[in-house]
Chains A and B, each alone.
Chain A
């Protein structure tokens, strides 16, 4: 009898601990707190890969308190690869931060969880394209701190050796194809292919204006222009002018093969200008994407800061976001070489950082920034659906089959469209 009571006691204890562990998340608001002195402390979640990056972000947090002494920002970080997993878990548990760092490609998944900022923040001084990129359904969901376009990276040494004229503004798709074929010799390929969204879709967009997502954010992978564009893109592999990714898990294939010297051209984002110039053992050149029927085009990407719905101090959070994406913060980040600023006035600072970092390649860097700005003119935001993660996975699995010739473009795009219809 006594034994049974002890067992009951143990079970009761276990039960209490279980309910204590589960009940913790329930207590009302999260992401911010006001102390007795009236100072509001806001949580801010951001990706950071090193102590240096963390220090930069701490500096931004301090800028907020300098401008608004009654607002404090409490920085929480996660490595980029874990950031969105952590963020969605926090939202699911009701423990989300007030200030959320957001990437344009993830906007679709988080649109319903972010407070629209229209009318609550000052949007003066931003490049219009950057603001546009962080809008969805006409609502400004985050303020951008950077801006990126896709560029054609090319191996200047290989072009000189093969006697092929280097890409320049106005370079057409036909020029690009011809160069890729001529550069494919001795086991090297003219172009490194990709199935990553920005990398592959930007070149298809430039080819014939094909877009996989409609302006009202519905998927249209199986539309006729997409089929034509993919047929052309996959044709680069069929004519042995391009390297096909070795597996569906090689998300960064084209740009990696380029820097390794196995592919003479690749499409990559402007965020890698500095690292490509530094890491490559050859001279790197940059150009806008080759122009198709409608001129050179590219998708744009941006990262920025938004306010979580349910934040108990939305006004303070909007103020904090304005400072974090403000001129002082961007001038500071540009000076640290973080990324190309979304504010036009601060963009030159970033260019100077890259030039100073590697003076021998000053010309290449200036060319890259010029191409980037050129890209912004023909730039289009890539709007993403709620299930864009799944779409990306399907692109990796099915586009590679088109590149290897195992599946027709029409059938692969049909599969992607059909399988991602649920949950868009």
Chain B
């Protein structure tokens, strides 16, 4: 055998498992979901082609879908900035602290403990705090309570990312800036943030995608209630699929969510040219 052929065969050997995995567990279900979204596809019973009916129902008739969409956007609009600000602030503070390593571990703990356990503990906390009605039972505060819990759970990951980026800021650039007289806010906005802008971009994009897919926190804390005050898009999909057993409707909802995430992420990628600076 010629060396090139051997190389090709081993390359194939390395690639095949992940191609198979991707095909079986990602591409095939994604394709199947597209097909399903055009069918009335009850989990139990016979399926029937209905064209765009599922999409029409979701956007026109479903009493919950548009509310879920609004709730998801409100959640994302609150959660992403709060998460990033908190993570960023703590990352800067921690890097000056003597106990930097200890703080990093402590603040990272919520991010690696199971979400369900965190949500259950927070639910008990909200119950213990009490109030009439409880924060989770009041339509005006329930979503805010979910955001608060989510920020606590989620900022640790971004903090580690920012903390690493802050550590890596080029000392020569910082020194040049201080020789030029840049201090305080000026130094932060014009020098430090641009230096860590790739990390900011990464964190903002990933956090946004996660936020649009929020499910576990409202599912455990409020079950979508009171009313539909905390119902999110993924909860709507779950409800359609596993409570109404209408898989076609669930697939259609999932595709709409996918489209939204795709657009939001695309906008972020287009926008990065304006503010993200990569060291060349």
Measuring CB to CB, which residues of chain A are less than 8 angstroms from any residue of chain B?
2-3, 6, 9-10, 13-14, 17-18, 21, 85, 88-89, 91-92, 109-110, 112-113, 244-249, 387, 389-390, 393, 396-398, 400-401, 403-407, 415, 418-419, 423
Contacts and interface: CB of A to CB of B under 8 A. Distances in A.
Given A113-B44, A249-B219, A393 B133 contact: no
15 contacts: A2-B5, A3-B8, A14-B16, A17-B24, A85-B242, A112-B45, A244-B137, A246-B127, A249-B222, A387-B243, A393-B223, A400-B137, A400-B226, A404-B226, A415-B227
A91 B44 contact: yes
A17 B9 CA distance: 20
B244 A423 contact: yes
Given A2-B5, A10-B16, A390 B239 contact: yes
Contacts of B43: 88-89, 91-92
Interface in B111-154: 123, 126-127, 132-134, 136-139, 142
Given A2-B5, A14-B19, A390-B244, A245 B224 contact: no
B123 A247 contact: yes
Contact of B44 (A3, A85, A88, A397): A88
Given A248-B137, A397-B224, A397-B231, 17 more contacts: A2-B8, A9-B12, A10-B16, A18-B28, A246-B137, A247-B137, A249-B221, A249-B225, A387-B243, A390-B239, A393-B239, A397-B223, A403-B137, A406-B226, A406-B227, A415-B63, A419-B63
B226 to A, nearest CB: 5
B205 interface: no
A112 B221 contact: no
A397 to B, nearest CB: 4
Contacts of B104: none
A406 B139 contact: yes
Contact of B15 (A10, A248, A423): A10
B176 to A, nearest CB: 50
A245 B137 contact: yes
B219 A112 contact: no
Contacts of A419: 63-64
A404 B12 contact: no
Given A88-B44, A397-B223, A406 B138 contact: yes
Contacts of A405: 133
Nearest to A96: B44
